[in-house]
Every structure is written in C-alpha cells, then in structure tokens.
Amino acid sequence: MPLMKLSFTPGLLLLALSCSTWVVSRSLPLMPSGQTTDSCVFYARMLLENITNLLAPDDPTRMFSGMNCTRHNMELNLETNTSTVCLPQGSVCSGETTSAFDRKSCLTNIEKDLSYYYQVLSNQPDSDGTLGSSVLLPLRELMENCFISSLPTDLTSKEGSEDHSSTNGFNQRQRLCKIMKGFHVRTITINRAIGYMNLGEHTT
Ligand SMILES: *[C@@H]1O[C@H](CO)[C@@H](O)[C@H](O)[C@H]1NC(C)=O
Ligand SMILES: *[C@@H]1O[C@H](CO)[C@@H](O)[C@H](O)[C@H]1NC(C)=O
Ligand SMILES: *[C@@H]1O[C@H](CO)[C@@H](O)[C@H](O)[C@H]1NC(C)=O
C-alpha cells in the first residue's frame, strides 16, 4: 500500500515546508540529462503553478467544485524519501541538522515520484481532458527535459488502470482531490530541491 492518508492540517504543512534553509550561492550548470537546471526550475515551476491553480477555490475548470477539496486528507506517496533526502545540507528539521546533501539520491527519489504520479494520474478518469492538459502535460515536460529515465516505457498503456465502473463520479473526484493534494505538497518539495541544486550550494 503505497499511499497513506495524512491529516492535512496547516501545522503539518508548515512543518513540511519549514524543514529547510535555502541559502543563495553561485549557479551550477547540469542536471542528469545534460539540461541546464535553469530550464528544470522552469518546468517544475510550471507544473506547480498548474496544480496550485487546479486546487484553488476559484479554479475555472471547476475540477473539484462542490467538494471542499481543501478540507480532505491528502494521500502522499510514501514509497520515496524525497522530503528527507532532498533537504539542503545544514538545514534543521525536527531538531536534527542534516548532513551532506546527496544529490544523486535526491534526483533518484524525485524521478520515482514523478513516474509514480504519472502512472497514477494517467489512470484517473479525465473526461474533459483537464487533467491531461493541466497536469500530465507539464509533468511530462518536466520528465522529458530533466528526468528522462523517469518516463514510463509504455506511455499510452491504460492497462491495469483502476476499475471505474463501481464508483461514481463524485467518489472519483474525491479520490483525485486527495491524490492531487499529496502531489501538490510533493511538487513544492521538488521545486525547492531543484532550486537548491540549481544554486549549487551543496557543492564544495
Ligand atoms: C464545505 O465546507 C463548509 C465549511 O466547513 C461547509 O459549510 C459546506 O457545507 C461544505 N460544502 C460541501 C459541498 O461539502
Ligand atoms: C527510503 O528509505 C528507506 C529506509 O532508509 C529505504 O529502505 C528505501 O529503499 C528508500 N527508498 C528510496 C526510493 O530511496
Ligand atoms: C497549464 O494548464 C493549462 C490548462 O489549464 C494549459 O493550457 C497549460 O498548457 C498548462 N501549462 C503547462 C506548462 O503545461
């Protein structure tokens, strides 16, 4: 069971986001695929903006209208260690100071997150294509440009998708709401990690 339900409280989010000290330093050039990290910062930012917009109460697509998405728990991918291994060196979290920043491990975990969410979201119903154009598209762009090995080998396959017949539209959207909230928090972490690597603060 890769997902765990977490109570989504402002305090928890604050804790998740405050576990970091972001120190400015000089620029550093390369991500694994050879792209400059500047473009990865850009793609990660685009993804985050679109997810943030979908979850906003005034979202014009009204994907989560009428269900108080903000009040639901989030489902977070706990198969990865992104939130801990991508902490910047020297940041203080829960009273412990993180030691050396492991760039490779951070990138690997981000990669796993991206492919996990790509698979899960591809298998969600998307009758009007909003999920595809607002989330899967920018997600795919980030993967293609910065985390090429996170791309699933068979992108078109819908095999093994969840059985939608037994659930109604409201339950499906509710489930999607929880997944998207988890993905939102994870995308914030990923944005910070990519920004941090872009600054090159961890190199010696
Ligand atoms: C959303 O939450 C508010 C405040 O808790 C409540 O008054 C309202 O009925 C809820 N709406 C839905 C659709 O659940
Ligand atoms: C996350 O950490 C656990 C415990 O240290 C480890 O067993 C697991 O392999 C890690 N997962 C990833 C994706 O690195
Ligand atoms: C963000 O979502 C809109 C649709 O809501 C889409 O047109 C746009 O292309 C998306 N942005 C990116 C970078 O894919």
pLDDT digits (tens, 9 = 90+) for 37-58: 788 999 999 999 999 999 998 8
- pLDDT category at 1 given cuts 50, 70, 90 is very low
* Among 8-12, 23-27, 56-60, 165-169, the range of highest mean pLDDT: 56-60
Q: Given this model, what pLDDT does residue 71 score?
A: 85
Q: Given this model, what pLDDT does residue 11 score?
A: 44
Q: Is 46 near ligand 3, meaning CB less than 6 Å away?
A: yes
| pTM of the shown model | 0.77
For every residue of the chain, which 3-state class applies, written as one string?
CCEEEECCCHHHHHHHHHCCCCCCCCCCCECCCCCEHHHHHHHHHHHHHHHHHHHCCCCCCCCCCCCCHHHCCEEEECCCCHHHHCCCCCCEECCEECCCCCHHHHHHHHHHHHHHHHHHHHCCCCCCCHHHHHHHHHHHHHHHHHCHHHCCCCCCCCCCCCCCCCCCHHHHHHHHHHHHHHHHHHHHHHHHHHHHHHHCCCCC
Q: Is 37 near ligand 2, meaning CB less than 6 Å away?
A: no
Distance in Å, CA 98 to ligand 2 centroid: 16
Give the Cα separation of 137 and 87 in Å (integer).
27
For the cut 80, the answer to whether the pLDDT of residue 59 exceeds it is yes
Ligand nearest to the CA of 174: 1
- pLDDT category at 155 given cuts 50, 70, 90 is low
Distance in Å, CA 85 to ligand 2 centroid: 10
Q: Is 87 exposed, middle or buried (0-12, 13-18, 19+ CB in 10 A)?
A: buried
Q: Given this model, what pLDDT does residue 88 score?
A: 81
Ligand nearest to the CA of 79: 2
Domains of the chain: 30-199 (1.20.1250.10)
Q: Given this model, what pLDDT does residue 13 score?
A: 45
Q: Given this model, what pLDDT does residue 2 score?
A: 46
Q: Which atom of ligand 3 is nearest to the CA of 137?
A: 14
For the cut 50, the answer to whether the pLDDT of residue 151 exceeds it is yes
The residue whose C-alpha atom lies closest to atom 6 belonging to ligand 3 is 134
Distance in Å, CA 84 to ligand 2 centroid: 10
162-203 pLDDT tens trace: 545 545 688 888 999 999 999 999 999 999 999 988 876 444
Q: How many CA atoms lie within 13 A of 183 on its CB side?
A: 28
Q: Is 81 near ligand 2, meaning CB less than 6 Å away?
A: yes
98-136 pLDDT tens trace: 678 888 899 999 999 999 999 999 999 898 899 999 999
Which residues, judged by CB distance below 6 Å to any ligand atom, belong to the binding site of ligand 1? 66-68, 71
